[in-house]
Structure 1
């Protein structure tokens, strides 16, 4: 998930911590594991009130933390929301149950095209249900950056923007521009391709103002940098604060991310899990979550009710041409992860 305010979510985690540790499970419960600040709290209250099912709700900051929590075996989670490549990992490890969509009739509200995109990590659409999606691109100040320049990833290597460029402090996200401008896949595991991309990033480093994560958009809003590599959700947030900002997904292509729900192998309350997923697809509930998170929703019933300005906001809802020119991150094997990390350390040490 490409989520604003993750650090705040971590700080507030205790407020939403697992509420039933050590309590007796009477069967009428549901244990949920989700990103921080990724569901409107009244939605959980409404689900409990309407169904009588008590929700044990726990949050995490990133997919790796989620995986550690899940694999520890300390808690039997029923449903989990996580990112595309981690969904793929859990499916491959046999940790996800097949979803019976006949038991989730309101999933008909989800646009079929996002199930198609999900086939990149769930080839038969058996194990996951899309929740939110977005892209990686460049947030920029229209008064300081030439709009023609921002059409290509080359702008991040343009010396006239020295000390005005923010990159993601994240290995795979920062490798995306380098790989794509070289014509390589953002899922490349080829050592020569990755080393060539590293050379590009080392060449670029003297131009970079900073490598940041959650602060990137805020720095551009504050005028401390002219552009930043960001997630589309961050860009939409920044644009709401300043009319001088815009967002571009360069023509060479980028990363499209999809966060999805799955029913975990540890699920002890299958019927309750299905009721919960169906509830999330309901138009009024999905609208609450969209208005709270403000990321692109795959729920076409919600999209159809949005005002024209929001529907046509390409930062939130990229057009088909943009999405079709993007790749979804795939899960990498341990050797490939080690290679990326080795190259990242080399970049950061320069």
Structure 2
């Protein structure tokens, strides 16, 4: 009898596995810790499909992988989307077919997309917005005088050897900061400007300076180990919601960015990819995802609800990060020559 029962279990399990394997499969390639898996599970259940999540650590890694592998949906940053589009690797999208009902861009995102378009790249031709935000300083507001210093010096406080600081582990963001201190925009940077920024970053490094990226999320949720760090607004919003010791400030002319859903030309399930993007931009999925991750929603109604007085980020300290408002601002464009100068300089900084 036990053998019969065991056989029934084996056969049943095999049938379940076969049934699962016959489901349509969607492969999504996105940054680490950047989606609410309960939202994914709901999409799988509603559509009787399987979703496979593959993560990348940086846009630079993603660029290489997208060129050599097949994914149905990829979520890179604006400048990486521009590079992939320039290389003819992305499908052009009819935006209206991919947006959830009632979708309207959040105001800050709309301003970013308009300025990006005016300067030569139509983001919406290839991508649907996923999250957006800016780069700023997350600082311990309990330190006497630091709030005033951050608002006066901006990113300059990162160079203070007396403070425990973090330089974000990204050539793009690190050099945006170093150039910003000297009132230079990325798009205007000369070789001399890059060299000066390299020296500033080397000088900023010290025994109390760390170079980190995603680890910021785990190291700053409790306590006050660090005094001032370079971080993304969404990470800052999440950290501040868990740790009341920190506040966030985005200096003028900081970098504003947007990540987006794109569909590579070699994707194998483009119709399901469209359904997934439409689902993720619906009100319910966008709300749950933004609530979980902490980044600014591209949907105006979700964005407004999050920063309302009784919203999850309605507290003024949190709202500053989630609202991601800064004027004027800049953004990083796809520029192979500039990128090489930044990467070469960053290698010098890291090894100095």
TM-score range, shorter chain: 0.7 to 0.9
Could you tell me how far apart the structure 2 residues matched to 1:115 and 1:293 are? Answer: 21
Distance apart, 1:208 and its partner CA: 5.0
Could you tell me how far apart the structure 2 residues matched to 1:107 and 1:186 are? Answer: 37
For the pair 1:49 / 2:45, whether they are aligned, the reply is: yes
Q: How does 1:97-108 map to 2 (within 5 A)?
A: 97-106=91-100, 108=102
Runs of at least 5 residues in structure 1 that lack an aligned partner in the other structure: 1-19
Superposed CA RMSD in Å reads 2.8
Q: Report how many residues are paired.
A: 320
For the pair 1:280 / 2:280, whether they are aligned, the reply is: yes
Q: How does 1:81-120 map to 2 (within 5 A)?
A: 81-106=75-100, 108-111=102-105, 113=107, 114-118=109-113, 120=116
Cα deviation code 1:243-297 (max 9, x no counterpart)? 221111123x211121110111112333222211111111111111112111111
SS at structure 2 position matched to 1:240: helix
- Kept in 2: contact 1:134–1:257 (CA 8 A): yes
Could you tell me how far apart the structure 2 residues matched to 1:174 and 1:162 are? Answer: 19
More helix by share: 2
Distance apart, 1:158 and its partner CA: 6.4
Q: How does 1:293-304 map to 2 (within 5 A)?
A: 293-304=293-304
Scaled by the length of structure 1, what TM-score is found? 0.81
Larger radius of gyration: 2
Q: How does 1:189-200 map to 2 (within 5 A)?
A: 189-200=189-200
Could you tell me how far apart the structure 2 residues matched to 1:68 and 1:155 are? Answer: 34
For the pair 1:59 / 2:55, whether they are aligned, the reply is: yes
SS at structure 1 position matched to 2:64: helix
Runs of at least 5 residues in structure 2 that lack an aligned partner in the other structure: 1-16
Q: Aligned pair in 2 of structure 1 residues 247, 154: CA closer, same or farther (>3 Å)? A: closer
For the pair 1:68 / 2:69, whether they are aligned, the reply is: no
Q: Match of 2:72?
A: 78
Q: How does 1:246-265 map to 2 (within 5 A)?
A: 246-251=247-252, 253-265=253-265
Q: Aligned pair in 2 of structure 1 residues 69, 157: CA closer, same or farther (>3 Å)? A: closer
Q: Aligned pair in 2 of structure 1 residues 92, 115: CA closer, same or farther (>3 Å)? A: farther
Q: Aligned pair in 2 of structure 1 residues 314, 178: CA closer, same or farther (>3 Å)? A: same
Q: Match of 2:269?
A: 269
Residue in structure 2 matching 1:317, options 305, 312, 323: 323
Could you tell me how far apart the structure 1 residues matched to 2:269 and 2:224 are? Answer: 50
For the pair 1:340 / 2:335, whether they are aligned, the reply is: no
- Kept in 2: contact 1:162–1:207 (CA 8 A): no
For the pair 1:222 / 2:220, whether they are aligned, the reply is: no
SS at structure 1 position matched to 2:176: helix
Scaled by the length of structure 2, what TM-score is found? 0.80
- Kept in 1: contact 2:221–2:242 (CA 8 A): no
SS at structure 2 position matched to 1:296: coil
